[in-house]
Structure 1
Amino acid sequence: MKMKEINTDNILKKGIPRLNNTIGISLGLAACASVLLIINLAVKDNEVFDEAAKMGGVLFLFLLLLLSLIVSFTVSIICNNKVKKATTELAHITKSVHAGFLNFCLEPGYRITYANPKFYEIAGYDRYEIEKEYDNCFLYFVYKEDQEKIKGLKEQFSNGIYRQIELRMVTRSGDVINVLLNGNYILGREGEKAFSAVLLDVTDLKNMQDKLMLEEERYRIAAEISNDILFEYKVDDDIMIFADKYKEVYGRDPVIENFSAVDAYNKDMVHPEDFQDLKLFARTLKSGKEMIEAEFRIKNVNQDLVWCHIRGKTIYDENKVAISVIGKVVNIDLHKKELQKLEYKAKRDLLTGVYNKVTTKEIIDDYLKRNNNSKHILMMIDIDDFKRVNDSYGHLIGDNILVFIIDKIRRIFSREIIGRIGGDEFIVFLGYMESMECIIDKANLLREALSTAYEVNGQEVYVSGSIGISVYPEDGTTYTELINCADKALYSVKDEGKNSFKLYT
């Protein structure tokens, strides 16, 4: 069967007769006038005819006939022009729409009763090929595994109801494309069930969606392998939503409401020293800052503190207002501890574990800048006759004796700055000395720690130390000034017999 032709000629053929009702009425009036005129002319009673002529009857009927013909002709021209204009506009709209339109029956054969040019373009066929070779069967072009979706339309038929179907079509070239049918159930003139729809080629969109899903799956797998934990923070709701893995790793609910109120929900979540960093991070999330980063130690499910790096990017709406922050939590514990080891090696004396010469100077100078309103002391130590120890027992024993002495000093001055500035020269820096009496007490403690004995092969090796002391700010306001004064005091002690201490004067 051939499809109904939806073109200009077809519409004109069917449209003009319907629109010419007005013409028919006019012609009817003309016919009535003609009949009346003939009757008048055929009347045998001349007196009646004369009387009618006198009254103008014949002239009236003639004018009525003429007027009817004029009206019919005029209306015919107007209707014809309107139909042509409407048909042209309809054809232009149908051809310019970038989507396929089609109607097809829901009976076996699934005959296409109408389709616009875009449908044929999508399918890759022209109208006559589909009519002759495929008997207008829409099902022929549907991918085999999706044909049941079309067959199932009839079972769910309800006149006027909207339906949306996603399926695959096979084009003339053999390509499988993804299409979306948006349409309504309709009843034909003879009561047959049909479906009228707009057909959109969504292949490119589908491919993009598939690629996006694949990338998301890759990212999810990569995150699982690397132990990264994704999160989303909703700015307006102040809700932090971690991935489910958060509970597995850190033993907490992955959804935290009122996240910015850190004090309220979990004060022991992080190391005490990092608590302020967590509060700052929570406040920054609401600020709208584009990139947000922080590092702190978080307790895991085993209650171990692990270093984590949190990084997030803010998402904005069309008005540039922050709506959410997307990011991830990365476990950097091993990396951080390796860095700490490297930092320790860079700043520490490898033998004794105290600060090295460079670091000692940096730390003391920084301390003096930040605490310049109090009295502090720098005590410089030199182990007495240590060259004799090395010459007598060897450098290995000498190193062991240094470690032994420093361990004793560290036990006494556990919170103070201790540094090694030479082979057997050390510094102990103490802050906030309230009086000279307090300074003397500290110096005596240090001298007693230095006066000790170390056993070597059952024999005790006696050692002692000399101490020179300088006071901030009287003797200097920088590390260099203080150590120069302490050095002078130290050598004064050595000149006077060693194993003692002296303040710079």
Structure 2
Amino acid sequence: MQENKTDYILKKGIPRLNNTIGISLGLAALTGVLLIFNLVINNDQSLYEVVKTDGGVVLILILLLFLTVSFVSSIICNHQVRKATAELSYITKSVHTGFLNILLEPGYQVTYANPKFYEIFGYKRYEFETEYDNCFLSFVCDEDQEKIKVLKEQFVNGSYRQIEVKMITRSGDIINVLLDGNFTLTREGEKAFSAVLLNITNFKEMQNKLSLEEERYRIAAEISNDILFEYKVDKDVMKFADKYTEVYGRTPVIEDFSVVELYNKNMVHPEDCQDLKLFARTLKSGKEMMEAEFRIKNANNEYVWCHIRGKTIYDENKEPISVIGKVVNIDLHKKELQKLEYKAKRDLLTGVYNKVTTKEIIDEYLKRNRNSKHILMMIDIDDFKHVNDNYGHLTGDNILVYIMDKIKSIFFGEIIGRIGGDEFIVFVGNIDSLDGIITKANLLREALSTAYEVEDQAVYISGSIGISVYPEDGATYTELINCADKALYSVKDEGKGSYKLFT
């Protein structure tokens, strides 16, 4: 029957130690004999006289000293060996890990194993010995036996190996185990493998489940229009899913992502660069949730609206590690919203801002630009009711569109709005002087003085303009338009077709 390693130490090690101690005691006695022999051979008269005089007392004391030292040493060594043996026995019996030594010879016998090794496979020590002749391969599944057999060819004394194999328990269950150990040579020079055996079945099951989830995740990402990403906070690296290359035509890995100046011209719409920079800073900030919208250039060199959303993952110290998120193409949705927003804010006939939006935009502009001079020009098309009555409302609408197209081309980038049937607003910011006001007023008057052909007949149009100046005439849209309206009716009273500043 195979011996436990601890039993081996107790049964074989202690007797050998006792033999060693016995030899030490014998050597001590021999030393005394040699001392006497030295007296006789060398005829050392002085030492002889001492021994003779003291009746051999000195010699006896010397022998007792050697015996005492040897005895005490044996007690100390014996105690230390027993203590170390007990500690080793406790460790090997209490840990939930197998310890074993396998001979790499035909039979692949286990020459030593701790109790946990047998417990893992559901056997008693004697059952393993009598039923399987200590053969390790008896437990290894057929498809993995070659992994054990090849160890003999790989043998390099003292080198390290780690092997995963499937093994069979007494109940017939297949378990995954990890052998982690070193090659060794026995006293007889036989090749062996000493290893720790870990049951990693639960770990492998979790690993397989994780792999399955990753595969599902990958397939879901492939069939979805969404593009997943992971941002490493410490490395400042953004990694998109492979689909990113297909959709946007760029590498899915971006180093130094927060330094967006390096690539933002190629990545997002120029108007959205600041939004991208803000998003990059937010990624590094550790904020739990983040969202952003900007236009990303796709593989067809077209800018498409995308919604980006991410969630931060933290370590045990609540420090941000990474951000997981997705990029969603919202281009169609965004453009539909823009159409609705356009309709809500615009005059459907002329395309300029409607009355409500005109007021909101001008008031907001005045709040942001309090230290400059601005002008508000209020326009009324002269005798436009006569046009509608004589040529019809459809022709009247066409004339309004024609006039507004001319005004939009001259005052491109300025705030233009329709506030009534034939009343319009042109707001011009940052006027330097009175000459600048006069110049703008003349440009507008000339644009209004035009002719429109209806069935080969010219319809002559003109407009009256009232002008108010910020901040002299008012600090809000309402104050400015009231002053401009008064100036406008003053022009109409004086003959129409001209402009006048509020005084």
TM-score in terms of structure 2 length: 0.77
Secondary structure class of the residue paired with 1:355: coil
Q: 1:150 to 1:491 in 2, by over 3 A?
A: same
Alpha-carbon distance in structure 2 between the residues aligned to 1:274 and 1:162: 56
Aligned to 2:35: none
Q: Do structure 1's residue 344 and structure 2's residue 342 form an aligned pair?
A: yes
Cα shift readout 1:254-275 (whole Å, capped 9, x = no counterpart): 5666666666667555443344
Structure 1 residue 418: deviation in Å? 0.6
Q: 1:211 to 1:504 in 2, by over 3 A?
A: same
Alpha-carbon distance in structure 1 between the residues aligned to 2:79 and 2:260: 78
Q: Of 85, 108, 111, which aligns to 2:109?
A: 111
Alpha-carbon distance in structure 1 between the residues aligned to 2:110 and 2:170: 17
Aligned to 1:139: 137
Alpha-carbon distance in structure 1 between the residues aligned to 2:490 and 2:105: 116
Alpha-carbon distance in structure 2 between the residues aligned to 1:342 and 1:23: 102
Q: Of 262, 270, 282, which aligns to 1:272?
A: 270
Q: Which moved more, 1:465-474 or 1:362-371?
A: 465-474
Aligned to 1:205: 203
Q: Which moved more, 1:478-487 or 1:126-135?
A: 126-135
Alpha-carbon distance in structure 1 between the residues aligned to 2:80 and 2:377: 111
Q: 1:134 to 1:499 in 2, by over 3 A?
A: same
Count matched residues: 481
Secondary structure class of the residue paired with 1:95: helix
Paired AA for residue 100 in structure 1: G
Structure 1 residue 461: deviation in Å? 4.9
Question: Is the 2:272–2:294 Cα contact (8 Å) retained in structure 1?
Answer: yes
Q: Which moved more, 1:156-165 or 1:65-74?
A: 65-74
Alpha-carbon distance in structure 2 between the residues aligned to 1:25 and 1:439: 122
Structure 1 residue 220: deviation in Å? 3.8
Q: Which moved more, 1:455-464 or 1:411-420?
A: 455-464
Aligned to 1:36: none
Question: Is the 2:4–2:114 Cα contact (8 Å) retained in structure 1?
Answer: no
Q: Which moved more, 1:420-429 or 1:434-443?
A: 434-443
Structure 1 stretches of 5 or more lacking a match? 33-53
Alpha-carbon distance in structure 2 between the residues aligned to 1:66 and 1:218: 83
Alpha-carbon distance in structure 2 between the residues aligned to 1:217 and 1:403: 58
Question: Is the 1:382–1:424 Cα contact (8 Å) retained in structure 2?
Answer: yes
Alpha-carbon distance in structure 2 between the residues aligned to 1:93 and 1:393: 107
Aligned to 1:95: 93
Structure 1 residue 113: deviation in Å? 2.2
Q: Of 421, 424, 431, which aligns to 1:423?
A: 421
Alpha-carbon distance in structure 1 between the residues aligned to 2:327 and 2:343: 28
Cα shift readout 1:75-100 (whole Å, capped 9, x = no counterpart): 99888766654543332121112211
Q: Do structure 1's residue 383 and structure 2's residue 381 form an aligned pair?
A: yes
Alpha-carbon distance in structure 1 between the residues aligned to 2:436 and 2:23: 128
Q: 1:83 to 1:243 in 2, by over 3 A?
A: closer
Aligned to 2:225: 226
Secondary structure class of the residue paired with 1:158: coil
Alpha-carbon distance in structure 2 between the residues aligned to 1:60 and 1:258: 88
Q: 1:277 to 1:78 in 2, by over 3 A?
A: closer
Aligned to 2:43: none
Identity of aligned residues (%): 77
Question: Is the 2:230–2:322 Cα contact (8 Å) retained in structure 1?
Answer: no
Paired AA for residue 225 in structure 2: S
Secondary structure class of the residue paired with 2:184: strand
Structure 1 residue 396: deviation in Å? 4.2
Secondary structure class of the residue paired with 2:150: helix
Alpha-carbon distance in structure 2 between the residues aligned to 1:253 and 1:15: 67
Aligned to 2:49: none
Cα shift readout 1:232-267 (whole Å, capped 9, x = no counterpart): 46756x666666655554445556666666666675
Question: Is the 1:377–1:431 Cα contact (8 Å) retained in structure 2?
Answer: yes
Question: Is the 1:486–1:504 Cα contact (8 Å) retained in structure 2?
Answer: yes
Aligned to 2:3: 4
Aligned to 2:364: 366
Pairwise CA RMSD of aligned residues? Answer: 4.5
Aligned to 1:128: 126
Q: 1:12 to 1:252 in 2, by over 3 A?
A: closer
Structure 2 stretches of 5 or more lacking a match? 31-51
**Equivalences for 1:231-246 in 2 at 5 Å?**
232=231, 246=244
Question: Is the 1:16–1:79 Cα contact (8 Å) retained in structure 2?
Answer: no
Alpha-carbon distance in structure 1 between the residues aligned to 2:459 and 2:185: 114
Q: 1:288 to 1:58 in 2, by over 3 A?
A: closer
Structure 1 residue 451: deviation in Å? 4.1
Aligned to 2:470: 472
Q: 1:263 to 1:93 in 2, by over 3 A?
A: closer
Aligned to 1:152: 150
Question: Is the 2:467–2:502 Cα contact (8 Å) retained in structure 1?
Answer: yes
Secondary structure class of the residue paired with 1:89: helix
Alpha-carbon distance in structure 2 between the residues aligned to 1:435 and 1:72: 116
Question: Is the 2:233–2:320 Cα contact (8 Å) retained in structure 1?
Answer: no
Q: 1:462 to 1:75 in 2, by over 3 A?
A: closer
Q: 1:18 to 1:381 in 2, by over 3 A?
A: same
Q: Which moved more, 1:75-84 or 1:460-469?
A: 75-84
Alpha-carbon distance in structure 2 between the residues aligned to 1:316 and 1:454: 69
Question: Is the 2:227–2:244 Cα contact (8 Å) retained in structure 1?
Answer: no
TM-score in terms of structure 1 length: 0.77
Structure 1 residue 165: deviation in Å? 0.3
Cα shift readout 1:186-218 (whole Å, capped 9, x = no counterpart): 334544433221001222333333333344444
Structure 1 residue 383: deviation in Å? 3.2
Structure 1 residue 284: deviation in Å? 6.5
Question: Is the 1:235–1:325 Cα contact (8 Å) retained in structure 2?
Answer: no
Aligned to 1:485: 483
Q: Which moved more, 1:411-420 or 1:222-231?
A: 222-231
Q: 1:303 to 1:25 in 2, by over 3 A?
A: closer
Alpha-carbon distance in structure 2 between the residues aligned to 1:185 and 1:128: 26
Structure 1 residue 349: deviation in Å? 1.9
Q: 1:55 to 1:252 in 2, by over 3 A?
A: closer
Q: Which moved more, 1:334-343 or 1:174-183?
A: 334-343
Question: Is the 2:226–2:326 Cα contact (8 Å) retained in structure 1?
Answer: no
Q: 1:260 to 1:89 in 2, by over 3 A?
A: closer
Secondary structure class of the residue paired with 2:172: coil
Aligned to 1:165: 163
Secondary structure class of the residue paired with 1:428: strand
Aligned to 1:35: none
Aligned to 1:40: none
